[in-house]
Amino acid sequence: MPEQVTFSTRLIAWQKRAGRHDLPWQKTRDPYRIWLSEIMLQQTQVTTVIPYYARFLVSFPDLAALAAAPVERVIEHWAGLGYYARARNLHRCARQLVAVNAANWPKNEEALGELPGIGPSTAAAIAAFAFGRRAAILDGNVKRVLCRHFAIDEFPGKTAVDRKLWALARGLLPATDIEAYTQGLMDLGATLCTRSRPNCLHCPLAETCIARQQGRQAEFPVAKARVTIPERRSTFILISDGRRILLERRPPSGLWGGLLVPPEGETNQVLARLGLTLQNAQALPPLRHAFTHFRLTLEPVLCRVDESTQLGEAGIEWVDLAQAADAGVPAPIRKLLMRVASAAD
């Protein structure tokens, strides 16, 4: 198939010459490190992932260490990366591999794809990079490359279009150099064939790219029909005794599951529930935060309470104000806590 030879051989040659070769999870066959990087890279950019990846490995250097840790500690190391179901599934997967597989990794994409939190594309990446298996990936970057190159004129999220893209991805697989080819697809989508301003001048596939030939790069991938994004508002009570701030751990599932956040709800009700006596309260400027499926406006209220206050409710804890922003809290809550800490200085 000439198209396959052109596409794969050009991509492999480009990756070996100009692709990324110094990422911290490269130059290893360790499936644990490859798996961790692939999960972190889901919907998160490389520059954001690198410091999290390094810190995570210090605390959880191998599968056994991750499986033995409490899930709350794992989630705290994930704080700020978002999409926290990834951290919970990471922990579940580690425990399952240790308990059921005696820490032995499956080596093919089908078996890998049955593990918690590992979808078909992630399974294929692990199979290719850790075990040299001939498996096709199809993450967001790869979909963009294929949609442009072959001018796929429909929204890639449609079931029929998704099947077409998977067939293309599998049909383009080279017989050899699967690691360079797979990394090349990732590198191309991340560095040249980007969402906006694609750098077609340096693209190894420019000669055969239909979108480029037609001058329609900006039209692919076809966008999903616009829908109204729901808006939500919620009040968060920042309770402080001047030195510390009160945080409570969210339930293990749901929004910000397992992370520490200030109590949520009406001021009087929260204080009454916790048995706290208010000295004074101050409404702080609201903070907007966008999630995948909705936008949240956080309405913080800073409440000062007596320093001698004792707490008896489980899941509630005092955290030193200067350290609260690093205590395993989600990104928008970190911003609120930094405001409070800065005002207290």
Q: What is the DSSP string of 95-159?
A: HHHHHHHTTPPP-SHHHHTTSTT--HHHHHHHHHHHH--------HHHHHHHHHHTT--S-TTSH
Cβ burial, residue 200 (10 Å; 0-12/13-18/19+): middle
pLDDT band at 145 (very low <50, low <70, confident <90, very high): very high
Domains and CATH numbers, the chain: 2-219 (1.10.340.30), 231-344 (3.90.79.10)
- Is there a catalytic annotation at residue 179? no
Q: Considering only CA atoms, which of 115, 173, 107, 113 is closest in space to residue 142?
A: 173
Render pLDDT for 83-139 as a digit per residue (tens, 0 to 9): 999 999 999 999 999 999 888 999 999 999 999 999 999 999 999 999 999 999 999
**pLDDT of 31 higher than 80:** yes
The model's pTM is 0.87
Mean pLDDT of 131-149: 97
Q: What 3-state class would DSSP assign to 31?
A: helix
Q: Considering only CA atoms, which of 155, 116, 167, 130 is closest in space to residue 31?
A: 130
Cα→Cα distances 333→68, 204, 211, 249, 327, Å = 28, 43, 42, 13, 11
Mean pLDDT of 199-213: 97
Q: What 3-state class would DSSP assign to 88?
A: helix
> Would you say 273 and 310 are in contact if contact means Cβ atoms under 8 Å apart?
no
Active-site annotation holder among 3, 38, 76, 299:
38
What the block records as the tokens of 223 is 């966008």
**pLDDT of 207 higher than 90:** yes
At residue 345, the pLDDT reads: 63
Mean pLDDT of 312-325: 87
